[in-house]
Amino acid sequence: MNFMSTRSARLFPRSCRAVLGCLAILGASWGARSAGGDEIERRRSPVVVAVQNARPSIVNIHGEKTVSTEGHASQGGDVGRRVNGMGTGIIVDQRGYIATNFHVVEGVKKITVTTADRETFIAELISHDSKTDLAIIKIDAHDTLPTINIGSSNDLMPGETVVAVGNAYGYEHTVTCGIISALHRTVQVSDVQNYEDLIQTDASINPGNSGGPLLNIDGEMIGINVAVRAGAQGIGFAIPADKALAIVAELLSTRRVNQTWHGAIVKAVEGGVVVEGVDADSPAAESGLKPGDIITTVEDQSLARPLDLERALLGRGEGEEIEFEVDRESKPVKVKMVLAAAPKAPQEAADPIWELLGLDLQSIPTKQFQREHRTQYRGGLTVVDVRTGSPAAKQGIRAGDVLVGMHIWETISIENVTYVLNRPDFASLGPLKFYILRENEPKTLYGFLTVSNRR
């Protein structure tokens, strides 16, 4: 996604800023003479402290993606145009789970992450939500990683100071400062991407800042930077933290990541997370959790928001017993829950294309295909749905895409796809190359599906 650059707000006329700059230099000199070693501490402003505290939990993301190819599915061969991408990520769990914008990692075959201490890792796309443009990626670090300090976006005020940190134009950990210009903005950035309820800021946000944090003066993340207004100066936007973290909690849920299930529906309240509802026949129901219970800790991990509940359960296996501490009608109660395997949708159990690739496909009548797609392909299959966390989802395939080929074969019918999946030499085809047509893309897109759970 291409964005125009912006400038930070100018709070004073240029002449006034020059005078203030001179006074600051003189003040620093006088302070150095009088205070000696205290000079650095005197210069350590709230913005400096905010950046120093947040910086270790911010990562830089680089990747190369193939945006199109003119090759025919039956011809094979890599003839796509490759472009370098960049963005920013925020560590939300010490085991290496990172939140970013989906457009930063969409279609990227090799996601490279560099931490603040210059270590480099290859990340895996875990889950994403294209509507909100958020995604979770994971790196396997040797040690536990520092996580971002999270604030609230519910009490933000136009005019208050904010700081953006990100990989602007590839310049890692670039810091810009400004104010909140407005709240609750709706922004249409393309024909397919619309953002609602955004924070508007004049802190400079450039290509590469996407996915990075917008911080308040206390160094707390109060937003995730997403875009700037093309053609404008000093207008950038961020997703409010409370809204973003609700999506991140779902993307990092045990159901999506571990395929396990707890069945508790929760929201944040003072002192923990409150149970709003319990799914029938779920582990939460069997444990005795009730609506109105406030979960304060899970296995000695304190909870402040739904994301903390999912983080506490992340990595726990099916059948594992977990202890919850609950405030029930102002009385402490201990509850033990046994996680279960997430129930499969009937479609997943019956359809090998859905199970193995994560695709729900629908045939397109030949005349309709030829009318809608002026191309050399003889036909294709519409992508109706993509299963979260599936090989297709990890490659950025979207509902509405048209699958026109796999490996060296055309995919005009569902039978063409099952033919590929049932071939005796299927294992030797991986990663499985695919070709799709996408609305508003003039050329064919392609990528590679890694299918590791073939029965």
* Residues 132-173 pLDDT 10s: 889 999 999 988 999 999 999 999 999 999 999 999 988 999
Catalytic residue among 72, 103, 173, 262: 103
Scan for tokens 């893309």, then name that residue. 441
Convert the pLDDT of each residue in 308-323 to its tens digit. Answer: 999 999 989 899 999 9
State the average pLDDT for the chain: 83
Catalytic residue among 57, 210, 282, 287: 210
Active site residue 133: yes
C-alpha torsion angle, residues 105, 138, 322, 143 (rounded to 10): -160
pLDDT confidence of 264, banded at 50, 70, 90? very high
Six-digit token string for 120: 């480099």
Q: Which helix (H) or strand (E) holds 19?
A: helix 14-35
Residues in Cβ contact with 159 at an 8 Å cutoff, skipping those fewer than 6 apart: 179, 180
Quote the pLDDT of residue 191.
61
CB contact at 8 A, 284 and 262: yes
Q: Is the pLDDT of residue 326 over 70?
A: yes
pTM as predicted:
0.71
Active site residue 197: no
Q: Is the pLDDT of residue 219 over 90?
A: yes
Q: Please, what are the domains in the chain?
A: 1-66+84-258 (2.40.10.120), 260-341 (2.30.42.10), 346-449 (2.30.42.10)
CA distance 166 to 329: 44
Convert the pLDDT of each residue in 226-249 to its tens digit. Answer: 876 666 677 899 999 999 999 999
Active site residue 210: yes
CB contact at 8 A, 165 and 215: yes
274 has which bridge partners?
267, 294
Residues in Cβ contact with 422 at an 8 Å cutoff, skipping those fewer than 6 apart: none
Quote the pLDDT of residue 441.
81
Q: Pick from 54, 28, 53: which is nearest to 42 by CA? A: 28
CA distance 139 to 150: 21
CB contact at 8 A, 255 and 131: no
Convert the pLDDT of each residue in 374-420 to its tens digit. Answer: 788 889 999 988 888 888 988 889 888 999 999 889 999 888 998 88
Quote the pLDDT of residue 17.
38
Q: What is 340-407 written as a DSSP string?
A: EEPPPPHHHHH-HHHHHT-EEEEE--HHHHHHH--SS-S--EEEEEE-TTSHHHHTT--TT-EEEEET
Catalytic residue among 127, 128, 133, 407: 133
Q: Is the pLDDT of residue 21 over 60?
A: no
CA distance 85 to 65: 7
Burial classification of residue 338, based on how many CB atoms lie within 10 Å of its CB (0-12 exposed, 13-18 middle, 19 or more buried): middle
